[in-house]
Amino acid sequence: MDANFRSGFVTLIGRPNVGKSTLLNALLGQKIAAVSPRPQTTRRRQLGILTLENAQLVFMDTPGIHKPLHKLGEYMNDVALQSIPDADVILWLVDVSVSPHPEDLLIADKLNASPPAGWVALVLNKCDLLGKEDINKRSEQYSTLYPTAEVITLTAHKLESQQVILQAIIDHLPEGPAFYDEEQVTDLYERDIAADLIREAALLHLRDEIPHSIGVRVDEFNERSEHLAHIVATLHVERENHKGIVIGKGGEMLKKIGSTARQEIEAMSGRKIYLELKVKVNKNWRNNSEALAQLGYILPKDE
């Protein structure tokens, strides 16, 4: 490594559905994090590792910070908040196309109560939806929430925006060696990413009142060969009538979810996937600590 090589941890925070996972996938140049139009798609911390010639950026994608309604929500907030103190860089993403939301104020309160040691950037995402005058107005509104943050405007899917934010991050990383092998892009196993992609597919196809009560557990992940894997997964729902909706008439909805998920998993893994999905009623699992642990929701401090 170059003597001036930089490396460090970059935490992505923000309320649900502001584009954290979309930005992570864009910066890595490949999809490792589930994305959907539904809020709270991300439920756990995931590392995204980008190794460049002069730096290694270890991104920590986190669940959206929100007012929790159950133990799962509390877990998601804890995961996000635990990722802040030790980060070298904190990217606080906001949706600049709308005025500050109560959940943005909640994040500001957390930051002001315990100012992080790392450099904080207020990232104004979705700037392509507004004109310059409106962006300036919204920038002022958000800047008052945490005045010491440096403001960066962003359109996540545009290469120019990506390069600007990458350079800003690198400039604020300490000098030091890489933490991970240059070939590694995430800390999750394929089976973990597969579970997230299955739930992403469910979020895309189901009605509003059902998706957030769905949890996915991969029961079997058998690598038949270098080019083929067999996955068996169970979708957990909280109500009996939700089970029928997820399965659909003649099993059509479950087939749609499976087809979409299979294509995404194949694109991620680079091999053919045989995917078998089942549906199980697990009443009130979002408020059951044991059920949460079985579905993989374990705080970093408990790992």
- Check residue 182 and report its DSSP letter: T
Give the amino acid at 38.
Answer: R
Q: Where do the domains of the chain lie, and which CATH numbers do they carry?
A: 6-171 (3.40.50.300), 190-302 (3.30.300.20)
Give the amino acid at 56.
Answer: Q
> pLDDT (tens digit, 9 = 90+) per residue, 43-95?
778 899 999 999 999 999 999 999 988 999 899 999 999 999 989 999 999 99
Residue showing tokens 């909805």:
253
> pLDDT (tens digit, 9 = 90+) per residue, 228-255?
999 999 999 999 999 999 999 999 999 9
Rounded to two decimals, the pTM is: 0.85
Give 268's contacts (C-beta < 8 A, 6+ positions apart).
Answer: 31, 32, 190, 193, 194, 197
Give the C-alpha separation, 156 to 289, whole Å.
36
> Given a cut of 80, is residue 37 above it in pLDDT?
no
Give 297's contacts (C-beta < 8 A, 6+ positions apart).
Answer: 43, 44, 72, 75
Residue showing tokens 């007012």:
67
* pLDDT band for position 303 (cuts 50, 70, 90): very low
Could you give the percent of the chain with pLDDT greater than 70? 93
> pLDDT (tens digit, 9 = 90+) per residue, 103-119?
999 999 999 999 999 99
- Measured from the Cβ of residue 26, the count of other Cβ atoms closer than 10 Å reads 20
Residue 156: the pLDDT is: 64
- Measured from the Cβ of residue 87, the count of other Cβ atoms closer than 10 Å reads 22
